């Protein structure tokens, strides 16, 4: 199992969402942390190189992975039309 670390900006993003949506995203990230070895992460390109995305309906969670320390760091959470513009 990987440890989940939520950066302050990601926590703020999550707090702005409706509670059921935020809970769904939180649950999906917890599932990812528990099952990361069985998942192929989706890498981003360009200026987001080294960052991965997780789709949760119309929302995206942008995160990085430290495999050595078994840690997933969540950087941003947002709607797919906005999250990459930040």
Q: pLDDT for 18-53, tens place per residue?
A: 999 999 999 999 999 999 999 999 999 999 999 999
Task: Tell me whether residue 50 is exposed, middle or buried, using C-beta atoms within 10 angstroms of its C-beta: 0 to 12, 13 to 18, 19 or more.
Answer: exposed
The 3-state DSSP class for residue 27 equals helix
Per-residue pLDDT, averaged over 55-73, amounts to 98
In CATH terms, the fold of domain 3-80 is YaeB-like fold (3.30.2310)
Whole-prediction pTM: 0.94
As a whole-number percent, the residues of the chain with pLDDT over 70 amount to: 100
The 3-state DSSP class for residue 58 equals coil
Examine the pLDDT at 86 and tell me if it is beyond 90. no
């Amino acid at each position: 199992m990987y440890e989940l670390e939520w950066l302050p900006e990601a926590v703020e993003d999550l707090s702005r969402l409706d509670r059921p949506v935020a809970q769904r995203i939180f649950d999906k990230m917890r599932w990812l942390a528990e099952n990361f070895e069985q998942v192929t992460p989706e890498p981003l390109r360009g200026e987001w190189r080294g960052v991965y995305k997780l789709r949760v309906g119309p929302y995206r969670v942008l995160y990085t992975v430290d495999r050595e320390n078994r840690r997933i760091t969540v950087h941003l959470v947002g709607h797919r039309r906005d999250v990459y513009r930040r």
